[in-house]
Amino acid sequence: MNYTTQMDAAKKGIITKEMEIVSEKEQIDIELLRQSIAEGKVVIPANKNHKSLDPEGVGQGLRTKINVNLGISKDCCNIDLELQKVRKALELKVESIMDLSSYGKTEEFRKKLIDMSPAMIGTVPIYDAVGFYDKELKDISADEFLKVVEKHAENGVDFMTIHAGINRETAKIFKRNPRLTNIVSRGGSLIYAWMELNDKENPFYEHFDKVLDICEKYDVTISLGDACRPGSINDSTDASQIKELIVLGELTKRAWERNVQVMIEGPGHMGINEIETNMILEKKLCHGAPFYVLGPIVTDIAPGYDHITSAIGGAIAASSGADFLCYVTPAEHLRLPTIEDMKEGIIASKIAAHAADIAKGIKGAKEWDYKISEARQNLDWERMFQLAIDPEKARRYRNESKPEHEDSCTMCGKMCSMRNMNKVMKGKNINILREDD
C-alpha cells in the first residue's frame, strides 16, 4: 500500500521502517506508536531525500529530544567552522540540528549538513530568502518565499519553522497590546515587517495550502513558529502570544487533514510559575501536537549564563508536557556561539531533558541514574566516567586534583562517606588520621 507521509501511513495502518526504528529506540509498542502518529501526538520528521537520517520520534510518551542551532551569518560566515560544530554536536548525540544560516553559500552548507547528519535537520526558510534572492525583504514576493520552502524540502530538510500564525489579525492584537520587547522572534519580526511594508497578509498564512503541498510531497514536518513568543518575562502569556497559539491550533488541523506532520513552537521567556500553565494551554489549543520550546528562559538577568536559565525552564516545561527542547548557549543574546559555547548548551539541555524524562516516567530513564549511583557507591571512578553525561569533563576534573588515596577525592579525602560506609558495613575499622591497618 502506498503512502505520502508518516502520518498518512499511520492512518492507513502501515508500519514504516522509520516507525520500527523509533519503536525499538524508545522501547514502546509499535502499534501504540503508529496510533500516536495517526493522531498527530507524535511526529517522525523524515524527509524522503534525507538518506543519512537515523529517525527519531518526538511527542507524547517518548524521550524528550533536544535541538542544536547552527549556521553561517554575515558576521560569521566560516562554513568549515560551522561544520566542526556539526561534528561535535553529532559526537554528543543530539537528535536534531537546525541550520539557521542567513548569508552566503547557504545551500552549500545545508547540503553538506544533510549528507553527513544522522540527526534530523530543521531550517527556517525565511532566514534564507534575503540572501537567496539578493533582494531586500520588502521586494521579495509571496511566490519567492514559497520557492525557498520548496528548495529546502528538495534538499532533504526534515522539518521547517513556518511563521504562519502571525497573520494580520494577530498583528492587530499585537498593536493594541504594547510589549516591552515587541516581537523578538527573528522570523516573526521579518514576517511582521514584510506585512507592514507591503500592506499584505502573511504569505505563509495566505498560501498555507501551498506550503502543505510541498510538505506532503517530501514528508516535511511543519514546525509552526511562535512569532509572538515573549522576549522578556514581562511579556509572557499575553494577548499576542495566546492569539497566535489559537491560530496555530487552527493551522494544525488543516495540516493533519493533508497528512502533514506538525510540531508547535513555544516560549520564550517566562517566570517559573507560568510554565506548567503554558504547556497545558498549548496541548489544549493545538490538540495534543508535540510542543517544541526555546528554554523557557526563566529570568532575564543572566547574559552569559542563559544555558542555565534555559535548562531550569526546560526541565520544568518538559516534565509538564513539552516534547522537544531547543538548546540555549551561554552566548544567547550576545554573539554567535563557539564550539565550547555549543557544548555547554547541549549538556545543559540534555540534563534538563533527562531530568524531565525521570519525572515523566519514561522507560529506561531512571536506570541510567541507578547505574551511576551504583558506581559512585562502589567508588568505581572509571565506571562513573563512562556513564557521565560529559565523560571528558568528569575525567578532567578528577585528574586535575588527585587525592592521596585513590578511593576518595580531594573534597573529603579519608572522610569520604562512601568510603567509610563501605568499610563500616563490612565490619572494618575506619582510620582517618593514620594509615589503614
Full DSSP string of 341-402: HHHHHHHHHHHHHHHHHHHHT-TTHHHHHHHHHHHHHTT-HHHHHHHSSSHHHHHHHHHHS-
pLDDT in tens, 119-136: 999 999 999 998 888 889
Domain formed by 40-356, architecture: Alpha-Beta Barrel (3.20)
Percent of the chain with pLDDT strictly greater than 70: 99
- Residue 63, annotated ligand binder? no
pLDDT given at position 87:
96
Q: Is 69 annotated as a binding residue?
A: yes
Residue 74 has pLDDT above 80, yes or no: no
- Residue 127 annotated as lining a ligand binding site: yes
Question: Is 227 annotated to bind ligand?
Answer: yes
Phi, psi of 93 (to 5 degrees): 60, 45
Nearest of 427, 1, 8, 31 to residue 255 by alpha carbon: 8
Task: Return the SS3 of 123.
Answer: strand
Res 436: pLDDT: 65
Chain mean pLDDT for the chain: 95
The response to whether 77 counts as a known ligand-binding position is no
Does residue 401 have a known ligand-binding role? no
Residue ranges in 182-305 assigned as alpha helix (H): 186-198, 203-206, 208-218, 239-257, 272-285
**What average pLDDT does this structure show over 138-150?**
97
Within 10 angstroms of residue 370's Cβ, the number of other Cβ atoms is 9
Residue 310 to residue 294: CA distance in whole angstroms: 8
Does the predicted model carry a pTM greater than 0.85? yes
Instruction: Name the nearest CA neighbour of 318 among 275, 289, 268.
Output: 275
| Cα 150 to Cα 65, 224, 367, distances in angstroms | 26, 16, 43
Averaged pLDDT, 260-283: 97
286 marked as binding residue: no
- 265 labeled binding residue: yes
Q: How much of the chain, in percent, has pLDDT values that exceed 90?
A: 84
Phi, psi of 89 (to 5 degrees): -60, -40
Is residue 215 a known part of a binding site? Answer: no
152 is in an annotated binding site: no
Q: Is the pLDDT of residue 387 over 90?
A: yes
Instruction: Tell me what pLDDT residue 194 has.
Output: 98
**258 appears as a binding residue in the annotation:** no
* Range(s) of the chain covered by CATH 3.20.20.540: 40-356
Q: How many residues does the chain have?
A: 437
Residue 125 confidence (pLDDT): 95
Contact 157, 110 (CB under 8 A): yes
- How far is residue 186's CA from residue 298's CA, in Å, rounded to a whole number? 20
In angstroms, rounded to a whole number, what is the distance separating the alpha carbons of residues 195 and 429?
78
Whether residue 296 is preceded by a cis peptide bond, meaning omega within 30 degrees of 0, is yes
Give 368's Cβ-side CA count (13 Å radius).
15
50 among the known binding-site residues? no
The reply, when asked if residue 80 is annotated as ligand binding, is no
Confidence of residue 75 (pLDDT cuts 50, 70, 90): confident
Residue, of 412 and 331, whose pLDDT is higher = 331
Residue 416 annotated as part of some ligand binding site:
yes
pLDDT digits (tens, 9 = 90+) for 278-288: 999 999 999 99
Residue 121 C-alpha from the chain's centroid: 11
pLDDT band, very low/low/confident/very high, at 437 (cuts 50, 70, 90): low
Q: Which one, of 362, 347, 361, lies nearest residue 314 by Cα?
A: 347
What's the whole-number mean pLDDT along residues 264-282?
97
At 435, the pLDDT band (50, 70, 90 cuts) reads confident
256: how many CB neighbours lie within 10 A of its CB? 18
Q: Grid coordinates representing 92?
A: 554528543
